[in-house]
Structure 1
């Protein structure tokens, strides 16, 4: 459906209409993500738990880094597993393993074994994401995809925002309670996936009459334009995540209190949670390239504004600008890999690649940002702004035109456009 046709369907692609018409498996994935992130305490409290247990800050930091590295690998592994064992098994299996490994952290006695467990935990905790994104993209018509991924992000952000508050309460009682609660949340997510998602057939066991071209990450690597999109996403993620590393240093050096930093982070969370669906209702009708590039440029402009010596007001305005950019561009960038994939059976690999690259950017960004801050001080914001503009150029060139999506939808998508959905999900 072209962009000229889509505005006529504005009401049909609104928030309520999209949620009402979404199939049960899409709603289940979104609900499961919210439950999973609501219980996502480990990354926030792992360092404190390990230090309290007798490890030093360096050891605790290495463990947290190992957990993050595992997450990058897990996103790639998740794309592979979705093909090999099916999305239902990939989601439920990864969440069950996440629950077991979360509980295992409490019983690990040696530091080397701890590193193995937290790395595996990081991987298991991300395996579900390409599979869940494939369920969402395959279960919904293309014209509704950006809005549904905005709902996906709302569940993710709402759960992530509430988790530290709940975790703080649980940790005040005991750290074991915190870890058992996260394990329970992961098991609940696994149960939702197993109960609500349809049985799907792994592609390697499809009947011999159904022939598929080879599927793998080599196919993604041969897609030069998509690699350019991923390069832009990597740079975007690195400057986006500066709010957790460089921004607190900038606030401190401006002579402002920690309260101001907390207020800025809360402001971002409020804007994203309260406004993203409203913004997406309009933005979903824009060409994908325009939406993504506009969002990145706004984020670049916002972080560059931190360089201006405007006090609290300057920090607030800058945060408003890049938060708006996040709401404008992120749903489209999250949804885009499903369009970029040349064939429907490649969606999980394209999703896995994009999530791994974004994870790599958010893992590398804080370390690079702090190092640059030490060398450049406030000039780092100008550098971040310029990097964001380069990321926007890479994404603009790398993204295909909306009409460049798969010339023929998958059978699932064809049926999603029809009033009766039937049994298409059983493919």
Structure 2
């Protein structure tokens, strides 16, 4: 009996160290994220719906996917500004209500132009939630716990997505309209939870705080080291985007069936659900620079190894495992870094510009990857992914080495990148307190 009791005690301690001490508002936000992803059916099955159910061409489905990504890119900036100007909660609630509305409308829409327009609006509203959610977490969670909070939020996203993908195919047998309406209903439920349970968390405006410099969108763009982080993120995001675009095409050309692809890519979500929390605890106290460098290399060359897979589904599974481990270490570490680089009164703008890198990848990734695959072949495509990961790793290493930068925004960026990862992904106190305006 002593062994089970000891194991139970270790498990309880792990849960307490991983999830304990976070504000109640965070957990309501976490529940909202999980419910939202549990109902996120439409994005996953949109291309299949357009080609299989509506009879449109694959090229048209690709165009709609790109317009969805374009809407997400535009909303990154717009939602970031609104998050700072009108508040986190109203921006988030409006974005979720808009997503629910246009998702339901999309299920009833007919005609190529109309579907394309509504898909753009769905992408716009859906991505508009990101800056607000990230800003709320940074507002309500102490710096010493932000890394854990972002890891738990990332875990909820993938847990919900994995479960929704598993049941969406079954629900689709009753008609794709059911998917659209359930997606809309779950998103509307999240809006209600946010409205009822999450208070406004936006700090006082700069005009009301003499000690805080005013920060506008131009200030964010002129923050050269932060923009360097955004650019490096774009490289990694372009690589990650290939998992749902060129990877299935290349696997199909190698004779891998769609069912095999489904099993291989499902390994991504499974590993995240199983390893996110243990790996988050393992990296505590380790160099943030080293984490970002290692993660970028794992992601880049995880995809790069795909060039050697041939017709082996097992080898594809190995490559997915490699870049998934990189993703697990990369995303929460990077989000903690971005939160620390963002002045409290401008967190929405900073998070919006950061989110833009992922949105641009969603827009550009399918087109760029498809062109390279068609005209240069899989070997060049996957080799390019490895190069992108290497360039990103070198970039993070250079940023981490510049910890002796002069005071100001650049100094905060350098110190934050070089800082060790703790339970929060916390940078030194001087980085938390240093001026970030220009």
TM-score over 0.5 for the pair: yes
Match runs of 1:9-24 below 5 Å:
15-24=15-24
Partner in structure 1 of residue 305 of structure 2: 305
The 8 Å contact of residues 79 and 130 in structure 1, kept in 2 or not, is answered as yes
Secondary structure of the equivalent of 1:173?
A: coil
The 8 Å contact of residues 305 and 318 in structure 1, kept in 2 or not, is answered as yes
Partner in structure 2 of residue 34 of structure 1: 34
Question: Counterparts of 2:319 and 2:115 in 1: how far apart (Å)?
Answer: 40
Question: Counterparts of 2:63 and 2:161 in 1: how far apart (Å)?
Answer: 23
Please state how far the C-alpha of 1:119 moved relative to its aligned partner.
1.3
> Within the alignment, does 1:240 sit opposite 2:240 as a pair?
yes
Secondary structure of the equivalent of 2:159?
A: helix
The runs of 5 or more residues in structure 1 that have no matched partner are 1-10, 411-427
Please state how far the C-alpha of 1:309 moved relative to its aligned partner.
5.3
Question: Counterparts of 1:368 and 1:57 in 2: how far apart (Å)?
Answer: 16
Please state how far the C-alpha of 1:255 moved relative to its aligned partner.
3.7
> Within the alignment, does 1:188 sit opposite 2:207 as a pair?
no
Question: Counterparts of 1:345 and 1:46 in 2: how far apart (Å)?
Answer: 37
The runs of 5 or more residues in structure 2 that have no matched partner are 1-10, 400-412, 420-426, 434-438
Partner in structure 1 of residue 199 of structure 2: 198
Distance 1:406 1:95, change over 3 A: farther
Secondary structure of the equivalent of 1:198?
A: coil
* Alignment root-mean-square deviation, CA: 2.6
The 8 Å contact of residues 251 and 260 in structure 1, kept in 2 or not, is answered as no
Question: Counterparts of 1:26 and 1:180 in 2: how far apart (Å)?
Answer: 27
Distance 1:230 1:181, change over 3 A: same
Deviates more, 1:226-235 or 1:354-363: 354-363
Please state how far the C-alpha of 1:284 moved relative to its aligned partner.
3.4
Deviations 1:278-303 (A, max 9, x none): 10102132222221111111112212
The 8 Å contact of residues 288 and 401 in structure 1, kept in 2 or not, is answered as no
Deviations 1:254-290 (A, max 9, x none): 4443343223212222111110111010213222222
Partner in structure 2 of residue 327 of structure 1: 328
Distance 1:400 1:201, change over 3 A: closer
Distance 1:290 1:408, change over 3 A: closer
Deviates more, 1:371-380 or 1:332-341: 371-380
Match runs of 1:266-345 below 5 Å:
266-308=266-308, 311-341=312-342, 343-345=343-345
Partner in structure 2 of residue 400 of structure 1: 414
Please state how far the C-alpha of 1:359 moved relative to its aligned partner.
2.1
Partner in structure 2 of residue 385 of structure 1: 386
Partner in structure 1 of residue 166 of structure 2: 165
The 8 Å contact of residues 79 and 131 in structure 2, kept in 1 or not, is answered as yes
Partner in structure 2 of residue 215 of structure 1: 215
Question: Counterparts of 1:312 and 1:54 in 2: how far apart (Å)?
Answer: 30
Q: Tell me the number of residue pairs that the alignment of Structure 1 and Structure 2 aligns.
A: 398
Distance 1:332 1:209, change over 3 A: closer
